[in-house]
Amino acid sequence: MSEVRSKAQLAKQAAFSLGKLSTDEKNQALIIMADALIQRAADIMEANAEDLRRGEENGTSASLLDRLALNEARIEAIAEGLRQIAELPDPIGDTLETIERPNGLSIVKKRVPLGVIGIIYEARPNVTVDAAGLCLKTGNAVVLRGGSSALSSNRKIVEVLHEAMERTALPKDALQLIEDPNRSSVDEMLKLRGMLDVIIPRGGSSLIQNVVLNSTVPVIETGAGICHTFLDASAEPSMATAISINAKVQRPSVCNAMETLLVHADYAKSNMTALAEALRERKVELRGCERTLQYAPWATEATTEDYATEYNDYILNVKIVDHMDEAIAHISKYGTKHSECIVTENADHANRFLQEVDAAAVYHNASTRFTDGFEFGFGAEIGISTQKLHARGPMGLPALTSSKYVIIGSGQIRE
């Protein structure tokens, strides 16, 4: 039996006993796992150094190496994520609805685990811990398949978590890591219908599309992030500059970073030159439309391919538009329904943008960088769903549940 199938089978078997644990047992286990990560931080960073060294040898970009890198502060933040999950309400067993029928039947709709969740992701070892914590808290077993670039880090993290789980009520087999780096292991996961209950891909558009198009297991799609910020004519300049810089520069390698800046022509007349220089000072490469080049002659001309690209890097498209209709049309054509922002002092324009733009998160006068489970108060997140079925936006604990109806009778039969 292959590694993928055998580990999925172990997870499926563990899911049964996992679903019977109390909230206290799960929370205590998460705290012990968090403590273990801190205690073993040096070992985790040593394994991470192997991944970083390999990445540098393979020519991995600086922004992607940043996504991969772990240090004491990041490990502490990851452990804190587990502690926050432990403090959050456990959705399992919640009553969602109660229906009392005329015939005396009492019908109660309750939250239950999804079962076994497969997660396929790329070079972010923090996802290993976030996914484990969220899934285990909700009574779900999890099968992880991280990218080959983070294999050493992920292997060590799961080793640490397994050792911690052995001191808890959690079945160790409820957390599985697929170590086979070949793409065939992903392809095999996609066909484990009946063993995996759902697959969640996290990564670039090529990974996500491969999963969506080829999986026989139900998929919750976490889309790529081609995010836009629109500076309306009435945008307050200092706010517009701060939001634009934060959305692009604060951490460009993540999916909620801005990839295209749309600027109203009237705003550009007074402010585009200074904004372009501010971005340039922060080492951002601009690719702009013809009108943008008038304000930033050092920029290169943007192509339609550029507008459709998620850079995850210090590269930004800029397009000057004559009105909000043009901005919304551009977002509709090139956006990935992730996070979109308008900066404006015009309340009517803001309300129209928030209503008409189709995305998981729409912002007025705030950076798109807030589309995040921590920032929304969910604790860690399993991903940001850009689809409309089951869950949308940052997915916290409730998004990892399904429901079932519990019907209580007193001998009723149907006529």
Q: Name the strand (E) or helix (H) holding 119.
A: strand 116-121
Report DSSP state, residue 90: P
Burial group, residue 385, by CB count within 10 angstroms (0-12, 13-18, 19+): buried
How many angstroms separate the first and last alpha carbons of the chain? 50
Alpha carbon 9 to chain centroid, angstroms: 26
Query: Parallel, antiparallel, or unpaired for β 339-343 and 116-121?
Result: unpaired
DSSP bridge partners of 229: 261, 341
Provide the pLDDT for residue 122: 84
Provide the pLDDT for residue 208: 86
Provide the pLDDT for residue 379: 67
Provide the pLDDT for residue 378: 75
Torsion angle, CA of 387/10/83/88, rounded to 10 degrees? 50
Among 354, 312, 357, 365, residue whose Cα is nearest residue 336: 357
> What is the mean pLDDT of each successive set of 10 residues along the chain, which is 415 residues long?
94 94 97 98 97 93 86 95 93 96 96 96 89 96 95 97 98 97 94 96 84 94 88 98 97 92 97 97 96 96 95 95 97 96 98 96 96 79 81 88 95 90
Provide the pLDDT for residue 375: 86
Contact status, residue 212 vs residue 219, Cβ threshold 8 Å: yes
Which residue carries 């793409």 as its tokens? 183
DSSP of 129-157: HHHHHHHHHTT-EEEEE--GGGHHHHHHH
DSSP bridge partners of 107: 99, 407
Provide the pLDDT for residue 205: 77
Among 199, 251, 186, residue whose Cα is nearest residue 225: 251
Provide the pLDDT for residue 297: 95
Among 191, 226, 248, 194, residue whose Cα is nearest residue 360: 226
